[in-house]
Amino acid sequence: MTTINRPTPAPETSGRRDRLVQGPTVLFCYGTLQFDAVLKALLGRIPEQTPASAPGYRAAALAHRVYPGLVARQSGAGSASGLVLTDLTTTEWRILDAFEDERYELREVSLATGMTGWAYIWPGGDVLEEDWSAADFEAKHLAAYAERCARIAPGLAAGQPKGE
């Protein structure tokens, strides 16, 4: 049996590499990490997943990006759909943290199930009025995106920042 040691996110973003301090239990994914091809490319496996949603949030389309940002809904009504990853190892948390855009803030969010999960929240700027479309991403960008993830995954696993 593998022991899963999880780093805990800092309550607020405290610098790029300090976001993981000790043990989150689940990661709420609402964008590209919902796709098995992306997870497999980054982690070499598909973690355990459960459908979930985050009330009061939406997966917003972002200007000039193919991935979304999780932002609070202006009206408060509605929720962002996605899934939670429940069995990430410490190494996998670090890979995914390095993969995420530096602007994201790792924060705990309440999920519709009554549990909480950690999510990468978009702090603002470049947010479009429309929601991000997983179906459009899958049809137009998934194949190339997953290929890029596979190319950068070894560097992320070795602790190199994305893009180097």
User: From the CB of residue 22, how many other CB atoms can be counted at a distance below 10 Å?
Assistant: 11
- Is-contact 80 58, C-beta < 8 A? yes
**pTM confidence score:** 0.85
- Is-contact 121 70, C-beta < 8 A? yes
Tens of pLDDT, residue by residue over 27-51, are 999 999 999 999 999 999 999 999 9
- Is-contact 145 66, C-beta < 8 A? yes
Domains of the chain in start order, with CATH, are 27-157 (3.10.490.10)
Side-chain half-sphere of 141: how many Cα atoms within 13 Å? 17
C-alpha span between 123 and 145 (Å, rounded)? 23
Tokens of 43: 């982690």
Q: Where are the beta strands (DSSP E) in 24-126?
A: 27-29, 49-55, 57-62, 69-72, 79-85, 105-110, 116-121
pLDDT band, residue 14 (cuts 50/70/90):
very low
Q: What CA–CA distances, in Å, run from 19 to 10, 15, 73, 92, 112?
A: 5, 7, 24, 14, 25
Tens of pLDDT, residue by residue over 119-135, are 999 998 999 999 999 99
Strand partners, 110: 116
